[in-house]
Structure 1
Amino acid sequence: MMESLEVIVRTLFAIVVLFLLTKLLGKRQVSQLSFFEYITGITIGDLAATISLDTDKTWHLGLIALLVWVAVSYLIEFIQLKSKKARDFIDFRSTVLIRNGKILEENLKKERISSDELLEELRKKDVFKVADVEFAILESDGAINVLLTRENQPLTAKHLGIKVAPERETQAVIMDGQMLSQPLDAVGLTPKGLNDKLEKLGVRMEEVYLGQIDSYGELTVDLYADGVQTPKAQDKPQLYALLKKCEADLELFSLSTKDTAAKQLYGGCSEQLQRLLADLKPYIQN
């Protein structure tokens, strides 16, 4: 019984130590692992298990080894930040696998990647034809990034010459039925303003599982009740429709009047409103 209790205590101790040391090493240890970080992760996990289960008198040696591994990893990460040569030596350099639609077979052999593996990675990027690829690069963490040729890249608003509104980070202002003050301040909205938006949607704060405000100031909510259709604000579409109606009315007034000055006035206002609508369309029409 005492031995089981000792294992439980050591395991809890190892969990706490491992958590703190992993926090020290940073987020890369749980995301994009380099070659050395992969080895470090395996070794640290094995040492933590040793601390938990080694019930003899030398368990503290496992803790010392764990601290040494973390210290070395931290030092290597610091050196990598300071030296490009160190990064290339420890993490390896990126390798071009495809250039101008042509597979570089020698580089594939060097990285020990088969044609099937390369095609599989391309399919994961929604690329099914090698000739459509401008560049495919094997990164130091093992990921393959792909750049399509210009004619195969998806169209963007810039290609079409369309102005789009600048995007800001979408903020979660309601979570688990509770208002979040800091994100609310980030979007420049008061609690009363948030309650007004909820009132327009016809929902209450406690009914909302998650509420977000986008860069346009529009509130979208996900309700606890999955069977209920989520309401949507109609302010922007209604504003666009109202402006279109005003533009149509001005054009109608211009056509119906016989007064030359009034005709020019209405026509000029209609043209100005048309230009304004063209500029505002990306902002207010959903």
Structure 2
Amino acid sequence: MGKRQLAELQPSEFVVTILISNVATLPLEDVNIPLIGGAIPILLLVSFEVIVSFITLKSQKARKVVSGSPRVIIRDGVVDQQEMKNLRLSIDDLMAQLRSKDIFDISDVAFAIIETTGSLSVFQNFDARTITPKIMNIAQTSVNDNSPPVVVVTDGVVSPQSLQYLQKDVAWLKGILDTSNVSLKDTFMLTANRSGAYHLIRKER
């Protein structure tokens, strides 16, 4: 499961955790069941979870099947009601999560995303963000400056959806890689926003 917090368990991890806790109590409740009878199913469940975690780590398709994908529920202050229905998320739950991030007005939200863990990530409008020295020294020059960065490359794999969101193409990506003198397979992660600003992390050897 890695070093993530318990609250960030994926659905498969949560199910395995519940099953392990139930199986572990069987030998304690029934003296006729030997300890080995509870240990073997636990080892099988742990092995299953390790295998699933490895597969989802290496495969984006498997990761989407097992964990789902992030869902955008607010765009430019407008709530996607259909997405909320799909997620079975009430407006009260949404507002509670926004308030926990000190946001009380939906119109202040540029993007709000429900992550696969169930947590809410929020990117505020430029004029609604908390003033910091960094913001005071930077003026917004275009609408694209208000777009959140997205992950374009993960472990050498390009995300077509991210390129579409950025309104960029493969040639643009190739130009960045050539400028950085790094190949696609040697790219651990590349994030970028619509204004063209990007951050590239090479794979460690």
TM tier, smaller: 0.5 to 0.7
Decide whether aligned partners of structure 1 residues 157 and 145 sit closer, same or farther in structure 2, where only a CA change above 3 A counts.
Answer: same
> How many equivalent pairs are there?
138
| Residues 1:64 and 2:40 aligned together | yes
| CA displacement at 1:116 relative to structure 2 | 1.4
| CA displacement at 1:59 relative to structure 2 | 3.5
| CA displacement at 1:101 relative to structure 2 | 0.4
Alpha-carbon distance between aligned partners in 1 of 2:17 and 2:33, rounded to the nearest angstrom: 25
| Residues 1:138 and 2:149 aligned together | no
Correspondence for 1:84 among 39, 60, 69: 60
Residues 72 and 111, structure 2, Cα contact 8 Å, conserved in 1: yes
Residues 27 and 34, structure 2, Cα contact 8 Å, conserved in 1: no
| CA displacement at 1:121 relative to structure 2 | 1.3
| CA displacement at 1:146 relative to structure 2 | 1.0
Decide whether aligned partners of structure 1 residues 102 and 142 sit closer, same or farther in structure 2, where only a CA change above 3 A counts.
Answer: same
| CA displacement at 1:28 relative to structure 2 | 2.9
**1:70 is aligned with what amino acid?**
V
Alpha-carbon distance between aligned partners in 1 of 2:6 and 2:71, rounded to the nearest angstrom: 24
- TM-score normalised according to structure 2 size: 0.63
Q: How do 1:128-277 and structure 2 match up within 5 A?
A: 128-161=104-137
Q: How do 1:105-120 and structure 2 match up within 5 A?
A: 105-120=81-96
Unaligned runs of 5+ in 1: 1-24, 163-286
**2:94 is aligned with what amino acid?**
L
Correspondence for 1:48 among 24, 28, 37: 24
Pick the structure with more helix per residue: 1
| Percent of residue pairs bearing the same amino acid type | 34
Residues 29 and 41, structure 1, Cα contact 8 Å, conserved in 2: no
Alpha-carbon distance between aligned partners in 1 of 2:97 and 2:137, rounded to the nearest angstrom: 33
| CA displacement at 1:51 relative to structure 2 | 3.4
What do the CA deviations read for 1:58-83 (whole angstroms, capped 9, x no partner)?
A: 44221110000000000000001100
Alpha-carbon distance between aligned partners in 2 of 1:149 and 1:160, rounded to the nearest angstrom: 15
Alpha-carbon distance between aligned partners in 2 of 1:57 and 1:151, rounded to the nearest angstrom: 64
Higher relative contact order (CA 8 A, sep 6+): 2
What do the CA deviations read for 1:35-64 (whole angstroms, capped 9, x no partner)?
A: 111111111111222233331144422111
Match of 2:2 in 1: 26
